Structure 1
Amino acid sequence: MMPLLSPPSPILDEAHFTLLAHYAKHLGRAPKAMRFSSTAGESRSRKKGHGMEMLELRSYQASDDLRHIDWRVTARTGQAHTRLYAQENDHQRLLLLDLSNGAYFGTRHTFVSTRLIQLAGLIAWRSKQQGDTLSYQLSYGEQNKGSNKAKDFPLLMQSLKDASELHHRSAPSPSTSVWANNLMAQRSHNKDVIILTDKQNWSQQDDISLMQLAKHNMVHWIQVFDSNTFKLPPGQYQMADSEGIKQVNVTQQSMQKSKALFLEENTALTKKLASFGIRYQLFDISESPETIARYLLSQGALR
């Protein structure tokens, strides 16, 4: 088995996060057009500068840099023309990780929580390797940790390591989502925001905060679930949640009911996020974190 797809334990150690650095370095490159951002974080910026690609040729304006005058076109037309270039922006990224108690569960490969934490680690390493500005906010168990300082990268790695500890599933879930009542999220503008979560429900007040976040940033939403949860053979199972370990009776009817509820909630979630202008993608836990990171790369959320 691949070490990223099926780590030896859902509790990740320092060696695993070191391995993530290697995979982050070899993700490849984003499509060229995706590496240029506007205020919305998607289209190319119409700024003058020494970018890598010319956007257009237009009549010279008094504020234009003389170095960008196209002398051939000027001589041919008798009117001064200047070139506008695509300028590669300073890439600023906000990472939001929001884990419910139910994320600390898995039937194969690893836990949903572990997969999302692995992906957060890949994003962090890739941002560091590319020299991008990374802010983060992590919510798991009763913990809520965040920073917007590059020097806190070791603290981020330690927090992700701590987030994989299984005792967090016994803590009560936070009453608000990671993006709500969050100054870092409220003050984010023109950033690529990546939300990693297993959640499908939150309060109406959280909806307002999410709409504001999407209004000023390009938001990419990654949800991970375990499809085998709905394929368990009928029988008695020991399940752990915030109330401890308990016996659960699984029947074919209960599995069908759980699956129908998940699909219903997921359909509503998909429509809601689309109405906010949020790019949403659902991944099964059988997908490796490297595969998911490459998807984010193709969408311009990473570079």
Structure 2
Amino acid sequence: MSPLLSPPSPELDDAQLALLANYAKHLGRAPKAIRFALQTGERRSRQKGHGMEMLELRAYQASDDLRHIDWRVTARTGQAHTRLYAQENDHQRLLLLDLSSAAYFGTRHTFISTRFIQLAGIIAWRSKQKGDTLSYRMTYGREEHASNKSGTLPTLLNQLKEASQLKHRADGSNPNSIWSNGQLANTSLIGKSHNKDVIILTDKQHWSASEDAALMQLAQHNRVHWVQIFDSNAYNLPPGQYPMASHRGIQQITISQQSMQQAKAAFLSDNARLREKLASMGIRHQLFDLTESPEKIARYLLSQGALH
């Protein structure tokens, strides 16, 4: 079996994180129509110049470069218009990784936390390879890290390695959402993010109603992609007693067919509400099973224009 799909340990080391660079390099390319597709009220990173893909034609603004006035349209309409261009190798990306204590679990191949961390590593390597600007914030256990500086790939990889450590399962989960209510959330990293591809990686399905406004603001000014990973096999375990590890330690859990059905129904119901809420904000949500490789999930993000 592929070491990417089923690593030797859910705790990743430097060598495993370094190997993700090769998978990132061979993801392929997103279709041009996807890369430059825009939603209402959304703007891609702009760069004015010749020989690049034209992004839009709009009325002249005082800050525009006079060299890029479209004189034909200006003469035809009687109003000055400017051509704006999209520079393919200058994309702004914000990665938000939020792991609950329940993510440090899995019945096949590896843990949910490990799959998220592998995916985050591929995103980080791909951004570096394409020359994209990557900011990030991550929370796991009691830890919270963030950066909006360039050249932080080694630091990010070290933090991802630390995030894979199973000791964080015992620390519980950060009750705050990753986009608000943290000491780092009101800085320019998130509070002032505009014109970025925002990738949210989390197993969480709930947040307080008071945090809706912050998420709506993030989605209003950026294109947000929400990736969720779950273990479908966890709802198909045979009846019996199982030792389960959580932040409360090892406990013996009795599982019956009825309890499995109830747990699955509750998850699907919560997930349907989550999907509906995110859709109302214009956020793209995709649910993946633990058995799917991080390379496949990264290719999905590529097809949606979140990666390039």
**TM-score, reference length from structure 1:** 0.89
C-alpha distance in 1, partners of 2:108/2:203? 16
C-alpha distance in 1, partners of 2:8/2:291? 15
Is the aligned partner of 1:210 residue 2:215? yes
- Amino acid aligned to 2:286: Q
1:6 positional shift? 0.7
Is the aligned partner of 1:103 residue 2:88? no
- Amino acid aligned to 1:302: L
Q: Quick one: percent identity of the two aligned structures? A: 62
1:11 positional shift? 0.5
1:281 corresponding residue in structure 2: 286
Q: How does 1:1-303 map to 2 (within 5 A)?
A: 1-36=1-36, 49-53=49-53, 65=67, 84=83, 86-88=85-87, 90-181=90-181, 182=185, 183=187, 184-303=189-308
Root-mean-square deviation (Å): 2.9
2:134 aligned counterpart, secondary structure: strand
Count the aligned residue pairs. Answer: 296
1:54 positional shift? 5.1
C-alpha distance in 2, partners of 1:44/1:33? 13
> Cα deviations across residues 35-93 of structure 1 (Å, max 9, x unaligned)?
337697967789853243457899x99975389778xxx9xx9x9x9994643263110
- Amino acid aligned to 2:237: L
Q: Is the 8 A contact 1:214 1:276 kept in 2?
A: yes
Q: Is the 8 A contact 2:202 2:227 kept in 1?
A: yes
C-alpha distance in 1, partners of 2:23/2:41? 25
1:150 aligned counterpart, secondary structure: coil
C-alpha distance in 2, partners of 1:238/1:46? 54
Would the alpha carbon gap of residues 36 and 51 (structure 1) be closer, same or farther in structure 2, given more than 3 Å must change?
farther
Report which of the two structures shows the higher radius of gyration computed on alpha carbons.
1
1:151 aligned counterpart, secondary structure: coil
> Cα deviations across residues 276-300 of structure 1 (Å, max 9, x unaligned)?
1101000001110000000000101
C-alpha distance in 1, partners of 2:2/2:287? 21
Q: Is the 8 A contact 2:48 2:68 kept in 1?
A: no
- Amino acid aligned to 1:49: G
**TM-score, reference length from structure 2:** 0.87
Gaps of 5+ in 1: none
C-alpha distance in 2, partners of 1:63/1:135? 28
